[in-house]
Structure formats: C-alpha cells, structure tokens
Amino acid sequence: KAGVTQTPRYLIKTRGQQVTLSCSPISGHRSVSWYQQTPGQGLQFLFEYFSETQRNKGNFPGRFSGRQFSNSRSEMNVSTLELGDSALYLCASRPSGRGAQHFGDGTRLSIL
Amino acid sequence: AQTVTQSQPEMSVQEAETVTLSCTYDTSESDYYLFWYKQPPSRQMILVIRQEAYKQQNATENRFSVNFQKAAKSFSLKISDSQLGDAAMYFCARGSEKLVFGKGTKLTVNP
C-alpha cells in the first residue's frame, strides 16, 4: 500500500506570494492533518480534515487555509507569505476510528 | 495549555546497549493516545509505537517498549539492542486527530 505522498518536496517563494501544497493520503484513510515544523517552535498542528470538512484547527492566522476533496486528497494554502513561514510542512493521514497518524515526507518551504 | 515535555534534548547509546527516552505530558482527558515517532535526517516521521491510555499493559514493538505511568502522566520509550539505524530525532506525542508533540530527543548511536 502506498504511503502518504506530498508534493512538491521543495519550494522556494518570496515574501508576499502565495503557495499551495498537496497531500495524497494512504488509500482508505479519510482523515488528513497538517503540521508545521520549525527549529524554534517544533511541530505545531495546523488543521485536520475529515470527509471534506475541517474538524480541528490550530492556532495559526487566517493566511493558512486548507481543503479536502472527495477522494480525501488535501491541499494547504498559505497566502501573503512571510519569512517566518519557512518550515517543513508535514501531512499525515489516519484511518477512521482509533488508528495512528502516518506521515508523508513533507514539503520544505523556503521564503526569500 | 496541554503540553508534552521531553526533558532530554540529546542522548547517546552504544550499539547493542539499551537506552530510555523520557516523556511527560499534561491532559485533562481520560481517553487518549500516546505515540513515539522517529524522524531520521531523511525527515519522514515514522511511527515507532503507540499506547492507548485506557490499556494498562505497556505496548511493545520488537526492540521498542514503553513504560506508561498514567497517574504520573509519564510515557518513556526503551530501545533495546540499539542499532546504528536507530539514530534519529525521537518525538513523543499525545492526541488522536490533533497531535501535540514534544520538542524531541536527538539519539546518537555509537559503534
């Protein structure tokens, strides 16, 4: 079974631009969560989607948004990029019920 | 705030020896999960082991086992017969749909 796939692996943007990251979950997983990982703040929860609905949201500004499609694939969008948005963005999928989250390789976003 | 604390930023162990990584957490929930994830330099977060809080029996996965002390809110990871491939950042996490992570422990395995 294929794992969680995140694209692209690397991304370089400049301040003020916007970016869209993509995540394809493990087949059959309906829950997708997003995390931001930085050296200073560590791993922080962004949001979680289940059946195309946002169920949980972390403490991030409205510039961070996401969505989930009917095939459970998810996208995360960051608008008006700031230098502090430079981070590794990790996506995880989870089966229904009480399963553990399984992570993708992440997208490394660098803001110049 | 419901936090997860890993008090050891770095640990080292000799190959074939045993090492224990510490984790404490704070929660007001009665039913929750605890996890240990491993993140090698390749950066993928890999699930090592999980524990369901309502289960008293400590989880075990091959060379990896946990010591879960619910009353003390402690969840340590023991790695037996350490191998070079065990070198990585280890993160303790609590939650289910929304994981709260500790800051991590960098484990070095010396040959």
For B1-22, how does the pLDDT look when each residue is reduced to its tens digit (9 = 90+)?
679 999 999 999 999 999 999 9
Burial of A93 (0-12, 13-18, 19+ CB in 10 A): buried
pLDDT at site B99:
93
Nearest chain A CA: its distance from B4 CA (Å): 11
Residue B68 has pLDDT above 90, yes or no: yes
**Angle made by CA atoms B21, B97, B41, in degrees to the nearest 5:** 45
Structure tokens of A4?
């969680």
Chain A residues in contact with B98 by the CB 8 A cut-off are: 33, 45, 48, 56, 58
In b/e form, how buried is each residue of A5-38, taking b as 16+ CB within 10 angstroms?
ebeeeeeebeeeeebebebbbbeebebbbbbbbe
Q: What is the mean pLDDT of residues A20-33?
A: 95
Q: Is A62 on the interface with B (CB under 8 A)?
A: no
Give the number of other Cβ atoms within 10 Å of residue A68's Cβ: 22
The bridge status of strand A107-111 relative to strand A10-13 is parallel
Give the pLDDT of residue A98: 72
Per-residue pLDDT, B1: 61
On whether any CB of chain A is under 8 Å from the CB of B37, the answer is yes
Q: Tokens 């809110």 appear where?
A: B73
pLDDT beyond 90 at B80? yes
Lowest mean pLDDT among A9-13, A20-24, B8-12, B39-43: B39-43
For residue range A63-72, list pLDDT tens digits in order. Answer: 999 999 999 9
- For A34-58, write each residue's pLDDT tens digit: 999 999 999 999 999 999 999 999 9
B97 and A48: CB-CB below 8 Å? yes
